[in-house]
């Protein structure tokens, strides 16, 4: 079952992207390019660009969730019992998570602001920034003082987790086939510019194996037509 969405004009896409601040310019540029192939607005306000129906009804090359007001960010931190650095609260105010060509920026799902917090699939939502405190254990040499806020698939089994250090630098730590160490980058803007400039991993579409009865019907149907 898919979620409802409406087609956006190029002017509407540009109006949305132009609201992103300068340090998110790499995101705007990448999405602007792929949005030329088609862009939509979903029922939750997310910008969707580059539909990939061969991968799934709700698969897109880019998904940008709208930013949150300060009170919602405060409520999320209270509900998840976390204290985010100013860099990330500022990011959430402009972009509450995103999916960008195998790069995932974590955000604050609105359902996790409820009391009690709970994940729901009733609408499109970013990966939960609060849960990343547990996902960090999957990466080797992750600095205990750094905040895990993003990840990127680089191969079928390789993934890089990205961490924000207290001084504002960003580092990458890998698992699987990914490099163990990458970075550091001096700040969020430099990290985004570097990562968005790298070729995106293009996973092969999942091969769906049809039921035996369907394969037999097709096979015998071909024989009957001969």
Task: Indicate whether 123 pLDDT > 80.
Answer: no
Torsions phi, psi for 53 (to 5 deg): -60, -25
Look over the chain and give the mean of its residue pLDDT values, rounded to a whole number: 84
Q: What percent of the chain has pLDDT over 90?
A: 41
Q: What percent of the chain has pLDDT over 70?
A: 81
pLDDT, one tens digit per residue, over 125-161 is 899 998 888 888 888 877 888 999 999 988 888 899 9
What is the pLDDT confidence band of residue 117, given thresholds at 50, 70 and 90? low
Half-sphere exposure of 47 (CA within 13 A, CB side): 31
The CA–CA distances, whole Å, from 61 to 9, 128, 208 equal: 18, 19, 21
**Whole-prediction pTM value?**
0.82
So what CATH class is 5-225? alpha beta
Instruction: Compute the distance between CA of residue 38 and CA of residue 13 in angstroms, rounded to an integer.
Output: 10
pLDDT of residue 202: 64
């Amino acid at each position: 079952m898919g979620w409802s969405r409406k087609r956006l004009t190029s002017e509407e896409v540009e109006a949305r992207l132009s609201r992103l601040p300068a340090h998110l310019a790499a995101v705007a540029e990448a999405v602007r390019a792929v949005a030329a192939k088609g862009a939509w607005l979903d029922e939750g306000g997310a910008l969707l660009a580059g539909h990939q129906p061969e991968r799934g009804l709700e698969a897109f090359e880019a998904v940008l969730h709208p930013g949150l007001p300060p009170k919602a960010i405060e409520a999320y931190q209270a509900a998840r019992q976390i204290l985010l650095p100013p860099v990330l609260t500022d990011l959430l105010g402009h972009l509450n998570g995103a999916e960008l060509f195998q790069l995932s920026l974590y955000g604050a799902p609105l359902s996790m602001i409820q009391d009690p917090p709970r994940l729901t699939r009733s609408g499109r939502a970013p990966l939960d920034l609060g849960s990343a405190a547990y996902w960090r254990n999957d990466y080797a040499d992750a600095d205990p003082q750094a905040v895990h806020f993003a990840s990127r698939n680089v191969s079928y089994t390789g993934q890089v987790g990205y961490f924000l250090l207290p001084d504002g630098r960003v580092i990458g730590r890998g698992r699987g086939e990914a490099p163990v160490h990458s970075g550091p980058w001096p700040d969020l803007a430099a990290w985004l510019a570097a990562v968005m400039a790298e070729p995106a991993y293009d996973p092969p579409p999942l091969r769906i194996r049809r039921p035996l009865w369907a394969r037999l019907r097709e096979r015998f149907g071909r024989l009957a037509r001969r």
